[in-house]
Structure 1
């Protein structure tokens, strides 16, 4: 693992991203929170510093709904010193109506996958210059029910679009590592997922609203197979800095069908590893974002 350089966490001011940032800071890593809202990011950094005095923290404005914002953020990050890792965490989870990014892409596919493809491609020269650098992709168990994506997602249900976007994230993550290995590049691409981590089981932090209310009876039932977003962050943090992490691996919770528990190696669906689908997805992503990896 790269000992020198910052770890960029997209969406690091909220939800699982906040706890990824906090846990990385606790591990002594410099963290750059890449997020849309500077005020929210400042509140997150304040909360981290209360728990980790002396934490090295920074902020980079990043709107994953805009490829222009992705380009500006990548330019700034690439010129801001060595990068040890990028945790591509941020994404859209809920949106119940047809929606698109500012570039006209279906919202889930454009935000969760295309924006991170463009960000990592632009940051790749800086990452490959840091020995042992890692790119961590946040997948989801929902990919298990996704239909193969052979083109741009259409107007499906919001959850179907979410499933397909997470399948794309994971296919990209595994394919990126195959290409790194093929070119003899030391950097690693790793996929992680949080298991079942609803906000109802998440601890609060000063100045942040991280937990949503839930009926006590429902909480008692789902509590048997749920954990908070703090625990949901563990696999991504381990993927970013764990000494036993290999490129091309998937890490998730180790208990109860990958729903909760400490990080452990996991298996994705067969189509997540499908090289043919991943190659088509890669070609489409490079075309739509206007950028590709320079191996």
Structure 2
């Protein structure tokens, strides 16, 4: 597996893939690869205009696949529900859902529903989206998958349920770490519940290592800090791998026959920052089943989305 490359992906003709944050970075590169494998890719984007621009660029590069741009703002649960409803009306089934979009290390903000934005977008928006699309994922012919993008920053996260929204104390990096830890707790708990239900659906987590994307620049831009922006540019150049390489763990998690469910896939190289994908171990906190169950319950209460595994 350490030498896996995107050319090893199997043909995906007739399959439907949903990618959040598909207009840039990792989502853009994954969308391009799925489409190049002849899949129909639903590009779930906050901005329809930027989504269409990205789709146009991808169509110039590849010949296969079918791209559909749809608005899905993970910071607004009404937008998530509307997006899912549109897919339910038109799709016969979903083969892969890539919960990829995210925000990183931004000043404290709130979503349209009053959630701390990093937790709201990175976890709660995707929790709601997956729950809404569960029937379509289960309706797919053959095995389907939910791939959730986490980060090695999960090791800096802590699930403080007494202040889940970071209202008493907020640190942009600690909040980001919490959201990425939540991604793993969700992915593993989803796999346990799917396995108990007997569904032909797998939940897998991944991380990109250090991928040089626009994600690193949003925080400094919102803080209007040219110093931090320049530091990020240097760090990306020195340590980052390309977004194309950073998307490999997500693509592997979504398509490899070696995946059985519940794995964590990341780069195999130096400090797990770059390299070909491999199965890895996340930290002990991410495997705390009591925290996972509590997070699941709280997430259902906050989003109003309950999963039907029957």
State TM-score, norm by structure 2.
Answer: 0.85
1:61 maps to 71
Mapping for residues 102-141 of structure 1, pairs under 5 Å:
102-130=112-140, 131-141=142-152
Residue 246 (structure 2) pairs with residue 232 (structure 1): yes
Q: Does 1:173 align with 2:187?
A: yes
Provide the rounded CA distance (Å) in 2 between the counterparts of 1:290 and 1:141. Answer: 29
Kindly tell me the number of residue pairs found equivalent between the two proteins: 281
Matches of 2:273 and 2:190, distance apart in 1: 26
Q: Is residue 200 of structure 2 the alignment partner of residue 186 of structure 1?
A: yes
CA distance in 2, matches of 1:158, 1:247: 31
CA offsets, 1:104-150, max 9 Å, x none? 01111111101110110010011011121100000000001112332
Q: Structure 1 residues 269 and 51 mapped into 2: Cα distance closer, same or farther (>3 Å)?
A: same
Provide runs of 4+ in structure 1 moved above 6 Å: none
The TM-score normalised by the length of structure 1 is 0.90
Please identify, of 268-277 and 19-28, the stretch whose mean Cα deviation from structure 2 is larger. 19-28
1:203 aligned residue: none
The Cα offsets for residues 210-257 of structure 1, whole Å up to 9 and x where unpaired, read as xxx968x9469x63x421111111100111112211210011101112
* Superposed counterparts of 1:192-231, under 5 Å: 192-199=206-213, 218=234, 223=238, 225-231=239-245
Quick one: which of 268, 272, 288 aligns to 2:286?
A: 272
Q: State the partner residue of 1:207.
A: none
Provide the rounded CA distance (Å) in 2 between the counterparts of 1:262 and 1:27. 19
Secondary structure at the residue paired with 1:171? helix
Distance in 2 between residues matched to 1:22 and 1:56, nearest whole Å: 10
- Note the aligned Cα RMSD (angstroms): 2.2
Unaligned runs of 5+ in 1: 201-212
Give the conservation status (yes or no) of the 8 Å contact 1:48–1:55. Answer: no
Aligned to 1:35: 45
**Distance verdict in 2 for CA 1:275–1:219, change over 3 Å:** closer
Name the SS for the 1:102 alignment partner: coil
The structure 2 residue matched to 1:248, chosen from 248, 258, 262, is 262
Alignment partners' CA distance in 1, 2:234 and 2:98: 32
Q: 2:148 touches 2:187 (CA, 8 Å); kept in 1?
A: yes
- Report the secondary structure of 1:64's partner residue: coil
C-alpha displacement of 1:67: 0.5
